[in-house]
Amino acid sequence: MKKDFLAFTDIDEHELESIIADAVRLKHLKSAGTAHELLRGKSLAMIFEKASTRTRVSFEVGMTDLGGHALFLNPQDLQLGRGEEVRDTARALARYVDAVMIRAYRHANVEEFARYSTVPVINGLSDAQHPCQVLADIMTLTERFGDLRDLRLAWVGDGNNVCNSWILSSSLTGMEIVIASPPGYQPDGRLIDQARAAGGRARVVTDPEEAVRDADILYTDIWVSMGDEEERAERLKALRHYTIDTRLLAQAPPGALVMHCLPAHRGEEITDEVMEGPQSIVWDQAENRLHAQKALLVRMIAGDIPIP
Ligand code: CP
Ligand code: NVA
């Protein structure tokens, strides 16, 4: 049966562990210059309803590294942009390609695409989830800490799609996610309940200092996500006390790491000083999108094959 990756509920703890282990192997193979064309002759369709730098380039380069091919598809150039239904596009594309990655405004559209596609579908970001980002972040933390169980991640700012993926991943990693957001910008309580029911640990506070006090990792993301542009002024006002700056970082334990999925708006959710500072690991996160997604693609397209 084909497997999709729309959210962390699509994989279990063992699958996560083996994707991360494969990602680390693929990273070593690439840096050693060893060919690893595990997806030779395979094609990935990539549909982007929204802008992207990292997701687009890492998936495209990832397929090339693996001996396959990626097609960048802009909905404006597809019949989708002229009203062809998602379910019809999904069924037609599945007759040509081996997997589809889709970045969409509405998570429901990603789910509908996956329901009708006969090939695996990967969520490259929706309004609700950004699982590929958090997959790469889990790889980055695994490289740093080895075992993630009992690490505490403080999410500071908007309780958005990336935050939601952290919440759902907590039942697989054993990490505790403490979210500091103002009222109105907190993640949906039902998602927290869902993660807890699966054995995860996530809780919401309003005070950023309380969240970072015992945190191993501080994480933030832009305050105005794609699709939220009309709310810019009110978001900047509501979130103005949630910047990760040197003052907030000083409240965290000395070795705490700072993460950001990027793109960043320096001076809003994070200061230039913190982003460029020694505790920031944002570029490792960006790099690991490539390796983690390659491992995901191999698993979804070729199945559970050994990586040399
Ligand atoms: N973090 C991330 O998904 O970046 P892009 O929007 O550039 O793909
Ligand atoms: N929350 C951001 C993430 C960008 C990678 C957005 O949805 O725009």
Give yes or no: residues 139 and 278 share one domain.
yes
Residue nearest to atom 6 of ligand 1 (CA): 52
Give yes or no: residues 147 and 251 share one domain.
yes
**Does residue 79 belong to any structural domain of this protein?**
yes
**Does residue 307 belong to any structural domain of this protein?**
no
Give yes or no: residues 143 and 179 share one domain.
yes
Measured from the alpha carbon of residue 185, the closest ligand is 2
Give yes or no: residues 264 and 198 share one domain.
yes
Q: Does residue 187 have a cis bond before it (omega within 30 degrees)? A: no
The string of pLDDT tens digits covering residues 160-197 is 999 999 999 999 999 999 999 999 999 999 999 999 99
- What is the CA angle 142-36-146, rounded to 5? 10
Residue from 123, 262, 290 whose mutation best tests the ligand 1 pocket (most atoms within 8 A of CB): 262
pLDDT exceeding 90 applies to what percent of the chain?
Answer: 97
Please give the distance, rounded to the nearest whole angstrom, from the Cα atom of residue 96 to the centre of ligand 1.
26
* Rounded average pLDDT over 257-275: 98
Give yes or no: residues 42 and 117 share one domain.
yes
Residues with CB under 6 A from ligand 1: 52-55, 125, 133, 261-263
Give yes or no: residues 147 and 277 share one domain.
yes
**Does residue 294 belong to any structural domain of this protein?**
yes
The string of pLDDT tens digits covering residues 117-147 is 999 999 999 999 999 999 999 999 999 999 9
Please give the distance, rounded to the nearest whole angstrom, from the Cα atom of residue 273 to the centre of ligand 1.
22
Q: Which residues are catalytic?
A: 103, 130, 133, 221, 261, 289
Give yes or no: residues 118 and 254 share one domain.
no
The string of pLDDT tens digits covering residues 38-84 is 999 999 999 999 999 999 999 999 999 999 999 999 999 999 999 99
Give yes or no: residues 136 and 281 share one domain.
yes
**Does residue 221 belong to any structural domain of this protein?**
yes
Give yes or no: residues 34 and 115 share one domain.
yes
307 pLDDT tier (thresholds 50, 70, 90):
confident
Q: Is the pLDDT of residue 308 over 90?
A: no
pLDDT of amino acid 304: 82
What is the widest separation between alpha-carbon atoms in the chain? 54
Give yes or no: residues 117 and 193 share one domain.
no
In short, whether 160's Cβ falls inside 6 Å of ligand 2 is: yes
Total number of domains in the chain: 2
In short, whether 162's Cβ falls inside 6 Å of ligand 2 is: yes
Residue from 48, 52, 130 whose mutation best tests the ligand 2 pocket (most atoms within 8 A of CB): 130
Full-prediction pTM beyond 0.85?
A: yes
**Does residue 3 belong to any structural domain of this protein?**
no
Q: Residue 96: is it exposed, middle or buried by C-beta count within 10 angstroms (0-12/13-18/19+)?
A: exposed
Q: What torsion, rounded to 10 degrees, do the Cα atoms 298, 285, 216, 12 define?
A: -20
CATH number reported for the structural domain that contains residue 221 in this entry? 3.40.50.1370
In short, whether 238's Cβ falls inside 6 Å of ligand 2 is: no
Q: Is the pLDDT of residue 19 over 90?
A: yes
Please give the distance, rounded to the nearest whole angstrom, from the Cα atom of residue 55 to the centre of ligand 1.
5
Q: Is the pLDDT of residue 306 over 90?
A: no
**Does residue 2 belong to any structural domain of this protein?**
no
Instruction: Please state, in angstroms and rounded to a whole number, the distance separating the CA atoms of residues 287 and 280.
Output: 14
**Does residue 308 belong to any structural domain of this protein?**
no
Q: Residue 145: is it exposed, middle or buried by C-beta count within 10 angstroms (0-12/13-18/19+)?
A: middle
Please give the residue range of the domain that contains residue 35. Answer: 8-130+288-302
Residue from 52, 160, 229 whose mutation best tests the ligand 2 pocket (most atoms within 8 A of CB): 160
Work out the mean pLDDT of the chain and round it to a whole number: 97
Strand partners, 71: 45
Pair 118, 2: CB distance under 8 Å: yes
Q: Is the pLDDT of residue 275 over 90?
A: yes
**Does residue 85 belong to any structural domain of this protein?**
yes
Give yes or no: residues 145 and 21 share one domain.
no
Give yes or no: residues 242 and 108 share one domain.
no
